[in-house]
Amino acid sequence: MLFIPIHFLVAVCLLHTKTGVLAVPQHAMNQMHGSFSLPLQRRIQTGSGSTDVTGYTDNTGEYAWLVDVTIRDQTFSLELDTGSETTWVWSNQISEPPQGGSGKHTEYDYGAIAPSPVVSGSDFSLIYSGGSSGISGIVVQDTVSVAGVGVSMQFGAAQVVPGDWFYSDGLLALGWSSGNSITNKPPTFIELIQHGLDAPIFTTLFDLTNAGGTLGFGAVDPTYSSSLKKLAVDNSTSSLWLVDNLSFTVGVETYPQDTIFFDLGSPTIAIQNDTVNAYWKSIPNAVRINGTNWAMPCSAKLPDLHFTSPLNGQYQHVIPGSSFTGALAYNVPVLEVEFPMCYGGLVAQSCPSGCAVMGAPFFGTHYVVWNIAEPSVSFALREGVQLGVAA
Ligand SMILES: *[C@@H]1O[C@H](CO)[C@@H](O)[C@H](O)[C@H]1NC(C)=O
Ligand SMILES: *[C@@H]1O[C@H](CO)[C@@H](O)[C@H](O)[C@H]1NC(C)=O
Ligand SMILES: *[C@@H]1O[C@H](CO)[C@@H](O)[C@H](O)[C@H]1NC(C)=O
Ligand SMILES: *[C@@H]1O[C@H](CO)[C@@H](O)[C@H](O)[C@H]1NC(C)=O
């Protein structure tokens, strides 16, 4: 998910009940592991709750890749996100509990911890792109552990959460601290943990066809090491994983894409409108639903989408067309069409520049190495992924 900081825009009434000092020791990682990995669960938000996801059924809906994170013997199921910088968890001080799925969260009870973990004078406040309301609260410092490896870090303890947020207990943000919405921009989880790893990387391997995935730290899976292609990440203008100068190819036409965010939290690939129009116009009976989204017959065999980077010469990176078949679409405005229509996971970016996103169809079909010290993403097609047809 891409986020918009609202720290300076919205005056949020915060309950600084504790003016406590920062008492948790600033120790580094409490256990050193050069590399480790752990499983992920993919979950979709439904009207009344959430459910684990299998298949290509949901890539236009809200969903999350969830990772278990331990704080003080409590397990929080956090959304993994490279499209934001602020890690936060539910607190037991949520002012207006969300409807529907409320009461199902692990809550951080900062008031019950002595000495107080509350970072005095610090707060956080953000709203995710596409979201209608924001998330805000106080800031605490505590040890956050993933697969038994912990770092002491500052993170948000939410007091305000949108009413429709109930699929995770918060969010593990993997961007750079320069964009952290927490006062004074403390280091992010990956910035802290990198120093104890064999290599300053994390890796993601998701599978759209089962509800699982793997998050790795510190090592590259040897299965993929020889086939990885690297793209530099431009963190000079963004604190997220921004890649410059890609070009997409549809048929014989090439469409430049000035910048694109590699965002684990996004359900679709959102790129320049011309590229998206050309792609879907090549599919018989595909129809535009609105300014950004298309639907097509669920049975359509979708062509693969290719892209190049000047960094890799003429090399054609490929996103399998099968990964663009989304959920069954209802009320598509072509009543004469007699076959089921599905949403397409390739959509038009909704602003002229600067908001293109590489999302689930890419991450569900690629093994990705994210390098924090030499900012870059390297990736290879996941084993077993079937390519389709040429555009
Ligand atoms: C990417 O494009 C920018 C201009 O938008 C240019 O300055 C830069 O040299 C390009 N990088 C590569 C690797 O081609
Ligand atoms: C376009 O349609 C999709 C699918 O129904 C919907 O999720 C999206 O919010 C719509 N976008 C706009 C800009 O109306
Ligand atoms: C994309 O192009 C179509 C056709 O020209 C237009 O109707 C639509 O509004 C455009 N969408 C965006 C986001 O620019
Ligand atoms: C970009 O990444 C490098 C290496 O991790 C880091 O030293 C630098 O501070 C980052 N730049 C920004 C603006 O965050």
Q: Which residue has the higher pLDDT, 155 or 354?
A: 155
The reported pTM is 0.88
Query: Which ligand has the nearest atom to the CA of 236?
Result: 4
Q: C-alpha 6: how far from its chain's center?
A: 19
Tens of pLDDT along 238-265?
999 999 999 999 999 999 999 999 998 8
N residues, the chain: 391
**Strand 88-90, strand 149-160: pairing:** parallel
Cβ neighbors of 179 (< 8 A, separation 6 or more) are 5, 84, 85, 185, 238, 239, 240
Measure the CA–CA gap between 125 and 150, rounded to whole angstroms. Answer: 25
Beta bridge partners of 214: 39, 205
Tens of pLDDT along 38-92?
777 766 554 444 444 443 344 445 567 888 999 999 999 998 999 999 999 999 8
The answer to whether 64 and 265 are in contact (CB under 8 A) is: yes
CA 189 / ligand 4 centre spacing (Å):
14
pLDDT band at 168 (very low <50, low <70, confident <90, very high): confident
> Where is 123: in which H helix or E strand?
strand 118-128
- Per the prediction, the chain carries an average pLDDT of 82
Cβ neighbors of 22 (< 8 A, separation 6 or more) are 117, 119, 120, 141
Tens of pLDDT along 178-226?
999 999 999 999 999 998 899 999 999 987 766 678 899 999 999 999 9
- The closest residue, in CA terms, to atom 1 on ligand 4 is 235
- From the list 282, 291, 268, 284, the residue with the least C-alpha distance to 345 is 268
CA 28 / ligand 4 centre spacing (Å):
20
Q: Which atom of ligand 1 is nearest to the CA of 232?
A: 13
Q: Is 93 a residue whose pLDDT tops 90?
A: no
Look at residue 390 in the predicted model and tell me its pLDDT.
Answer: 65
Residue 361 DSSP SS3: helix
